[in-house]
Structure 1
């Protein structure tokens, strides 16, 4: 089974949704037959890092809400993160552009480290409050998952893998992705949002059953057809066929 996940590293529910899916996979009997691939999606392609900009103030300004309302929303997100074992440092979060982070994941995939790189980026952004648009920060994070520093810096300094990021973002638009996280199972079944683990487990089981069930033909002939036929016990010849 293939699972494609459209997400952004600045999306708090993408990390939470990732953990909930992982929890569901722990209870899924066919988990060893599941492959996961992260797809690129930018919540705000025009985002820029503003040093010293408080995340609550950023949310309040972006969504036209009061600062108090933004703080309450942040607390709710932190609580949901805590429930799946994550610690979010929202006070020191460094909101920024994530395009190069997505390019880095595409590079990491070529080296067989795509899932590890995605996990490291989420943790760096939300738990460690690192600036994941900074190339030296990305170099260090990539090195931690086993990637070559020089190759990483050369990639980031170029336009390499930009094409793949843009293609995945375009595909997201084509299939109707309106927000992230967005999960696609076997290119047929979609689940939107950071659903509870039980919902993911139910989806995994349903997709597995649908994709692996034996085809059952529906007969269109009468229950006792007046025609000749053979079985492993012999042949029957109806009068009308003589």
Structure 2
């Protein structure tokens, strides 16, 4: 008997470390689910933590210092150690905090080509590990090519409408995971919680 094809809506923003953790866990859970014959698509829904961030960006450490004050260094050390337990390597020293509009747009372009999951992973890694500016169009073109995504300039109007829809739906923080017919799961969910949510859709 074939299983149902389910959809996970994932609301996130690239510079958000909890979005990265949540997405990393979701991908691990999806890999197991698919190996067991489950079918699931991820629908990426965009959210901008800072719609006013510039394309040139600023050093992420400055942003963290504004957020955490004197505790910025210890906060960064704690999150970096936590990332290692997720199998992720975070670098902050030269990281660039910039506008994520174009990054969200290229995820949507990639999704239409069946490569949304790969493009999202590459963008998270570009920002958090490679210290790349994910607002820079040349950088994005390189990352798209590396991921096998054909570049397109389309989708800006649709993205603006979708950002607006997500905001109007009441999302005020990310990540958010939405499984069909269930209340949304907010924050960086554990693998166990994500696995339990998906288990209902196994064949």
- TM-score (norm. length: structure 1): 0.74
Aligned to 1:4: 9
Aligned partner (choices 127, 132, 136) of residue 138 of structure 2: 136
Q: Unpaired runs of 5+ in structure 2?
A: 1-5
> 2:20, 2:124 within 8 Å by CA — same for their partners in 1?
yes
Q: Corresponding residue for 1:199?
A: 193
Mapped to 2, the partners of 1:166 and 1:49 lie a distance apart of: 16
Check if 1:89 corresponds to 2:91.
Answer: yes
Render the CA deviation track for 1:132-182: whole Å, top value 9, x for unaligned. Answer: 11111111001111133xx44xx1xxxx31222223222222332121111
Offset at 1:190?
Answer: 0.8
Gap regions ≥5 residues in structure 1: 213-242
Matches within 5 A, 1:230-241: none
Q: Matched residues in 1 for 2:201 and 2:115: separation?
A: 26
What RMSD, in angstroms, separates the aligned Cα atoms of the two structures? Answer: 2.2
CA contact (8 A) 1:105 1:118 kept: yes
Aligned to 2:65: 60
After superposition, residues 1-242 of structure 1 pair within 5 angstroms as: 1-28=6-33, 32-48=38-54, 53-61=58-66, 63=67, 65-67=68-70, 69-148=71-150, 151-152=151-152, 155=153, 160-186=154-180, 188-205=182-199, 207-208=200-201
Give the whole-Å Cα distance in 1 for the aligned partners of 2:182 and 2:160: 22
- Of the two structures, which has the highest relative contact order with CA contacts closer than 8 Å and spacing of 6 or more? 2
The structure whose Rg is larger is 1
| Structure 1 stretches of at least 4 aligned residues deviating more than 3 Å after TM superposition | 25-31
Q: Is the CA contact 1:94–1:125 (under 8 Å) kept in the aligned structure 2? A: yes
- Using the TM superposition, give the Cα deviation of residue 90 of structure 1 relative to its aligned residue in structure 2, in angstroms: 1.2
Pairwise CA distance, 1:31: 5.8
Q: Indicate if the aligned counterparts of 1:10 and 1:125 stay in contact, CA closer than 8 A.
A: yes
Q: TM-score, normalised by structure 2?
A: 0.87
* Change in CA separation of 1:161 and 1:197 when aligned onto 2, cut-off 3 Å: same
Equivalenced residue count is 197
Partner SS state of residue 189, structure 1: coil
Contact 1:49 1:94 in 2 (8 A): no
